[in-house]
Amino acid sequence: MLKITRSVVDAVKIPVTVKTRLGWDENNKIIVTLAEQLQDCGIAALAIHGRTRSQMYKGDADWTLIGEVKNNPRMHIPIIGNGDVTTPERAKECFERYGVDAVMIGRGAIGRPWIFEEINYFFENGERKAPYPFGWQVDILKEHVLRSIEWIGDERKGIVHSRRHLAATPVFKGIADFRQTRIAMLRAEMLDELFGIIDGVVAEHENSQK
């Protein structure tokens, strides 16, 4: 890993950053030493996911060692903490308790890309932003599907690619008897069908609010 990092740093003129985990497994959490060695390779910043490789996604992310890396007096590059940040409150706690320079968010943004704005709002105002209107959230999801299609250049593939977001989004949480609609939404392969289902959900939701 160090050899690869050194080679990349030497080969390019732009800043190189590394993202890695705590180590290979429970008995090899080498990140504190590894971070120093990576820094010595000349990287510009280090992102750390608070799990080991063998852990995959099991258990909670352990931020203690991320904090140790950050608080190591030998370290001077920015440290980006990662793992299980899904709320503005947790983001704040990670900054305050572990002193990291930034937090990185993965799964928390799936189906909820506005999480970054929510966190910024929380940091600036000390309280949560009022929930975004249902229709606004749905519009963002639809835009996401459209951009996915545009990016991939194929309607069906773009929809399949964005299914993960539709499946994980909190937007439809709490809607009564949503199961069948959800299944249909995640099976739809063409835009007309998918947006027809989603628009039906919005219409029903609006009716229920009257």
Ligand X SMILES: Cc1cc2nc3c(=O)[nH]c(=O)nc-3n(C[C@H](O)[C@H](O)[C@H](O)COP(=O)(O)O)c2cc1C
Residue ranges in contact with ligand X by CB under 6 A: 19, 49, 82-85, 105-108
Q: Taking the chain, what is the end-to-end CA distance rounded to the nearest angstrom?
A: 59
Which is nearer to ligand X, 105 or 201 (by Cβ)? 105
DSSP β-ladder status, 102-104 and 17-21? unpaired
CB 51, min distance to ligand X, A: 7
| Nearer Cβ to ligand X (32/109) | 109
Closest distance to ligand X from the beta carbon of 121 (Å): 19
How far is Cα 202 from Cα 109, in angstroms, rounded to an integer? 22
Nearer to ligand X, 74 or 147 (CB): 147
Q: Which is nearer to ligand X, 20 or 39 (CB)?
A: 20
Phi, then psi, of 135 in degrees rounded to 5: -60, -35
Q: Which of 67, 145, 142 is nearest to 101 (CA)?
A: 67
Min CB(83)–ligand X separation in Å: 5
C-beta closer to ligand X: residue 51 or 142: 51
Count CB atoms within 10 A of the CB of residue 191: 16
Q: Which is nearer to ligand X, 79 or 85 (CB)?
A: 85
Taking phi over 0 as left and psi of -120 to 50 as alpha, with beta for the rest, 55 belongs to: alpha
- For the CB of residue 112, give the shortest distance to ligand X in the complex, in Å: 12
Neighbours of 1 (CB within 10 A): 11
State the residue for tokens 């194929």.
154
Minimum gap (Å) between residue 209 Cβ and ligand X: 33
3-class secondary structure per residue, 33-79: HHHHHHHHCCCCEEEEECCCCCCCCCCCCCCHHHHHHHHCCCCCCCE
For residue 84, the minimal CB distance to ligand X (Å) is 5
Residue nearest to ligand X (CB): 106
